[in-house]
Amino acid sequence: MVEDPTLILVVEDNPANRELLVEYLEAERFDVVEAGDARSGFELFKVRRPDLVLLDVMLPDDSGFNLCRRMKSVSRKFVPVVLVTALHETADKVEGLGAGADDFLSKPIIREELVARTRSHLRVKRMVDKVEMYQAELARFNQRLQEEVDLRTRQLQGALADLKRAKELTEQTQQEIIERLGIASEYRDQETGNHVRRMSHLVHELALAFGLSSATAELFRQAAALHDIGKIGVRDHVLLKPEQLDEGEAELIREHTIIGASILANPRTELLHVACQMARSHHERWDGLGYPDGLKGDEIPLPARLCTVADVFDALTTRRVYRREPMSYQEARNEILQGSGTRFDPAVVSAFDQCFVRVMQAREAAEP
């Protein structure tokens, strides 16, 4: 299958700067359309539907910030917008992020940086497009499945054995789709992929120790595979950065909770409902100092509270790009216990402590 050519929209009022951007991009075999003001740039955006926008902040008829907001408001699909600016003040960057911008490119333009950032954002767009395709396929599958179940019910009039078999097939297919969506979140970072597998096992053990039924624990196990689905919307240079993140980068990576919840929004099944709770709230804290909503105590959904403890334990005991040496299991256990009542739900921490041996065993069993 041949992919459609990549189209980039350049909106820049300075002819020399615009010509330079177009020259650099066309040298990399990108298709480029250009505009010199906000009005024509917005019309081109609506008509040509580009894959990425390079947008000057200072335009003769409007600001790039306002144009970015308008573009984001009318676009049904994710289109990265990179602000090209000579402004370097923090307030300008904050305003750009508030307008929906995905990145900044400083003037004067450096060809290598322009090409690298362009390719990075296009990779993210392709991943988001794939997730949207998976969502559409899942919706179509559910519709076809519902029609088939209705037909079989009318035809067989209570043939319980056949209906049971159809239900089992549905559950198996649903689980396969969930697992494939989980794979989408781990596509760029293999360690994240291992983390997803371990998380499913850890959440399952915690749910059982907390006193939940085996069916509910299994539901939570399946949903945990999607807790980090939003990371597909985090750019590579932030997600894979080996050094400490600066505040702007940390804010970008925090957005994976919002992105994940958006992907899983309006669920029609209990499984995706639980997965959406985990995706949005697994970085909330018991004391209310977490993100993205600052929920406190029992305001945090139980699936997310279990997911949080499992997530932190696995992160502490795993080598990450930003931390070379992981903690021992016992050191991580002490860290979890110290966070009881502040970072974590005390009842979940108590369940974690009671089943700690099984937690260690589950973590080892989930290694590839």
* pLDDT over 70 at 185, yes or no: no
Per-residue model confidence (pLDDT) at position 90: 80
pTM: 0.52
More confident residue, 310 or 136: 310
Per-residue model confidence (pLDDT) at position 176: 60
Backbone angles phi, psi at 343, to 5 degrees: -80, -35
Measured CA to CA, the distance from residue 351 to residue 358 in angstroms comes to: 11
For the chain, give every residue range classified as CATH 1.10.3210.10.
Answer: 182-365
For the chain, give every residue range classified as CATH 3.40.50.2300.
Answer: 7-109
Identify the weakest region by mean pLDDT among 26-40, 125-139, 235-249: 235-249
**Residues 187-193: contacts with CB under 8 Å, at least 24 apart:** 187/127, 187/232, 188/123, 188/127, 188/236, 188/239, 188/240, 189/231, 189/239, 189/240, 191/318, 191/319, 191/320, 191/321, 192/228, 192/231
Q: For the domain with range 182-365, which CATH number is right: 1.10.1240.10, 2.30.40.10, 1.10.3210.10, 3.20.20.70?
A: 1.10.3210.10
* pLDDT over 90 at 349, yes or no: yes
240 contacts: CB under 8 Å, gap ≥ 6: 188, 189, 321
Per-residue model confidence (pLDDT) at position 114: 93
For 207-264, write each residue's pLDDT tens digit.
Answer: 999 999 999 999 999 999 899 888 887 776 666 666 677 777 778 878 989 998 998 8
Q: How far is the CA of 214 from the CAs of 217, 226, 362, in angstroms?
A: 5, 20, 16
* pLDDT over 50 at 2, yes or no: no
Per-residue model confidence (pLDDT) at position 224: 92
pLDDT-derived band at 186, boundaries 50, 70, 90: low
Q: Which tokens hold the place of 334?
A: 């002490």
Instruction: Quickly tell me which residue has 């990450």 as its tokens.
Output: 320
What CATH number was assigned to the domain covering residues 7-109? 3.40.50.2300
Measured CA to CA, the distance from residue 106 to residue 78 in angstroms comes to: 23
Alpha carbon dihedral 74, 78, 82, 83, in 10-degree steps, equals 30
